Amino acid sequence: MLDSIKQFSSTFFVTGDPLILGAQVSIAISMVAIVLALTIFKKWKWLWTEWLTTVDHKKVGIMYIIASLLMLFRGGVDALLMRTQLALPQLEFLQAEHYNQIFTTHGVIMILFMAMPLMFGLFNIAIPLQIGARDVAFPFLNSLSFWLFFFGAMLFNLSFIIGGSPDAGWLAYPPLSELSGSPSVGQDFYIWGIQISGIGSLATGINFIVTILRMRAPGMTLMKMPMYTWSVFTTCIIIIFAFPILTVTLALLFLDRFLGAHFFTLDGGGNPMMYINLIWMWGHPEVYIVILPAFGIFSEIVSTFAKKKLFGYKSMVFAMFSISIMSFFTWAHHFFTMGSGANVNIFFAITTMIIAIPTGVKVFNWLFTLFRGKITFSTPMMWTAAFIPCFIVGGMTGVLLSVAPADFQFHNSYFLIAHFHQVLIGGVVFGYFAGLYYWWPKMFGFKLHEGLGKWAFWFWNIGFYVCFMPQYALGLMGMTRRFNAYDFDMGWQPLNVISTVGGFLMGIAFIFQVWQIAHSIKFMQKDTTGDPWGGRTLEWSIPSPAPLYNFATIPRADTLDPWLEEKNKRAAGIATPAPEIEPIHMPRNSAIPFIMSVCWFVAGFGFVWSWMWMAIPGLIGVVVCLLVRSFTYNTDYYIPVDEIKRTEAALRGSH
């Protein structure tokens, strides 16, 4: 009996690596500390009623952002471990198997569990407020989307300490991801973690399309929507077409592993290239899913901080839609070297070059907006200014990679690593940081400390260039990705040392950001205006933080910048009559999204270990939650006029 328990424990828990042991201990200590803190301060009820069961889009957005910052820490530590391993030749800091696990989890976490939730968090914070809505179209579904993401991410991260992390690369190409290449459960953690969170992502795409189409303020036609709203709309269109591809692809891979199907195994009549085509049919649109909202954020910030109307509004909208359509016609450029033939390579080379055109249009529009503007260099504007040269370099190297003969040389080299980090950090991360700084006062009612923010900014930017510029040269010198060691005579050591220093500078930048948030909470600069940046769109017309119902009366939006127009009228002494306040219809909190997501987690964990005794009850729990929701009728309520007036008096009195 004891031997059986020992044998099970040795396969169930990850043992033998001091780094993982240290992580296990720190996770256990952190969990105990959280439980003790909630118990001592008697915050369990507060946690349940205010957060775990909330359907308020603003709180859902805050939870997305907190989760994404935790994942940024986890993914960043993975990156620093890899850079430490590669700093010197033949270093034995990480064993080969552990290194493979780290570069796999780093990619998955940074794209799916850091960039996506940060993006969804900003969707939730800004979109209903920008379009003059009191909530999203489907508040219950919005809460469910978050908890599905969260428990999918937790299931994936659990593999770090239980069962072992996946090690077949962040896109899990077969045959490495088949049972023959990955017999352990790590790959199943990968499949179910991404599947569960992917359902939430698809639901979010549907939710925000309906919200934008059906819940805009009176007078706000499509061509009067803020540019960030347009960017979210086009992003959600890509999501609803791309994410089903990912869901089906991972389902087929799971059937290969779980039931012995042969969709992607050559010896059973399958074809691994089918998987690679399918995963990139999702994977390349995914790049545009995460970058388009950043483009929208830059458009808002450039216009606000240059104090000018956005240049070329219609061309920006056209560029957004062009990118969303063209993103589905570029996937094969990821495998020019796979022997598809010259005609196929030519088609995808041309489409990849064409998609750079609308992207370039945006850069010129931002520059023309800034031209002769009265620019204020607060931290959101600094991140925007840093993005433009960084993304231009990333775009130019992307066009280089689109040339098939050149790609035969660059493919799988560190040149490619440098390129996509240039785009994803310089575009996506810089963009979402800019948005986070920009909308932070609207979320919490105080600005983040500018001085510490600028220290973080410079460490991020200097660290970024020090880290990734040498990698272009390393790629041209022949260094390929995914190798955990290299020989002394390769000549790669000096540039790898420089690159590692840059990585740690970015790590210091993250510490500055954590310090900045903590300092700002303690010594907060309260936003007493509701409009700290001199904004132009509707979210700046209400107090900070926004009340539960967002708008006491639904605003009108007859122009492109309705709040700027309203401020100009007030300055000219023109009074806009305030509509009569009426009771506000709001959704009730619900525990079902949280409980249903726990059931999905249980089912996923059961499928990972092939424990049907756990998986089947988990799926039954999901069905029961759906049935309970179907027969729940008390799902909404009205906020009475007196309560609205009291809330407005309290908020406006302090603003």
Token digits of residue 539 = 């979210």
DSSP H or E segment with residue 450: helix 450-476
Residues 644-652 have a mean pLDDT of 88
Read off the pLDDT of residues 207-233 as tens digits, 9 standing for 90 and up: 999 999 999 999 999 999 999 999 999
DSSP string covering 232-274, please? HHHHHHHHHHHHHHHHHHHHHHHHHHHH---SS-GGGT--HHH
Kindly state the tokens that stand for 369. 């907006």
pLDDT digit string (tens) for 3-12?
777 777 777 8
- 349-380: b (≥16 Cβ within 10 Å) or e: bebbeebbebbebbbebbebbbeeeebeebbb
What is the mean pLDDT of the segment spanning 434-461?
Answer: 96
Cα Rg of the chain, angstroms: 25
Banded pLDDT at 291 (limits 50, 70, 90): very high
Alpha-carbon distances of 650 from 398, 403, 421, 543, 645, rounded to whole Å: 52, 61, 46, 10, 9
Distance CA 67, CA 64 (A): 5
Q: Compute the distance between CA of residue 608 and CA of residue 520 in angstroms, rounded to an integer.
A: 42
Tell whether the model's pLDDT for residue 323 goes beyond 60. yes
> How far is 539 from 439, CA to CA, in rounded Å?
9
Per-residue pLDDT at 526 = 86
What does the pLDDT read at residue 653?
A: 65
Q: What is the pLDDT of residue 577?
A: 81
Instruction: Indicate the pLDDT class of residue 574, thresholds 50, 70 and 90.
Output: confident
What pLDDT is attached to residue 610? 94
- Predicted local distance difference test score (pLDDT) of residue 28: 87
What is the maximal distance between C-alpha atoms in the chain?
85
pTM of the model: 0.96
Q: What percent of the chain has pLDDT over 90?
A: 87
